[in-house]
Amino acid sequence: MTGSVYFISGIDTGIGKTYTTGYLAKLWNEQGQKTITQKLVQTGNVDVSEDIEQHRKIMGMGWFPEDDSKLTMPEIFSYPASPHLATKIDGREIDFAKIERATQQLAEKYEVVLLEGAGGLMVPLTIDLLSIDYIAAKQLPVILVSSGRLGSINHTILSLEALKSRGLELYALAYKTKTLQLPQTQRKIEITRRKNGSTTSKATMCCFAGSAFDIEKVIKRHFHTNHITFALINVERI
């Protein structure tokens, strides 16, 4: 049986994709669903992906055999830049067939594979291929990571527009925040992945520019849907 693969992207670089990926893996493993993480393309590292290392630290499960075999980090480039530039500097191209084989092998062993991208949806993997093009080619459901920082409403809705224009599935919209004051029961991510793939979430409010803003209603009205799952991640409590 082949497991489900979810693509983790964000509205910007440094928005919290790695924390979200690691914490979702931790949460779903605790819920009894065998979950592993994978990095699509890692830049700025040599031999080992720092993002995979961060996932394992958050998950608290140690190093996986698939980490040793590099299935979880099939492509690593040394220069810290967008993949299309890092590949040029390192003098080799991304081996997409290698990535696809690695993802498939993970999906054959695990119920869930969380595939973390590099940067946002429009980051170029090559001169001709954007991250969102790869997602579209593989028809992967997306978990989009946003935050409560100034400007994020605009970036979030632009990212959702990009997904909508290509007919891609948004599995969940996750907010990463450090300062939002909510009741204790709402301070951690509350995405629950059920066996049939449906989700539930409790946290729907996010803080934008210092004030509570019900972005869920804005987005659902704008996109004419009630089928978006919202969650909140407080990275200080991970």
Residue of 17, 26, 34, 39 marked active site: 39
Give pLDDT, residue 15: 87
Q: How confident is the model at residue 209 (pLDDT cuts 50, 70, 90)?
A: very low
CATH number at residue 49: 3.40.50.300
Q: What percentage of the chain has pLDDT greater than the value 90?
A: 60
Instruction: Check residue 149 and give its pLDDT.
Output: 74
Name the residue range of residue 172's domain: 4-237
Torsion of CA 13, 158, 172, 203, to 10 degrees: 90
Give 229's pLDDT tier (boundaries 50, 70, 90): low
In the structure, what pLDDT confidence band is assigned to residue 187 with cuts at 50, 70 and 90? very low
User: How do residues 109-167 score in pLDDT, each as one tens digit?
Assistant: 999 999 999 989 999 999 999 999 999 999 999 999 987 777 788 898 899 999 989 99
pTM (two decimals)? 0.83
Sheet hosting strand 142-147, strand order edge to edge: 35-39, 112-120, 4-10, 142-147, 170-177, 230-234
Position 29 pLDDT exceeds 60? yes
Average confidence (pLDDT) over 35-49? 97
Active site residue 39: yes
pLDDT of residue 13: 85
Q: How many domains does the chain have?
A: 1
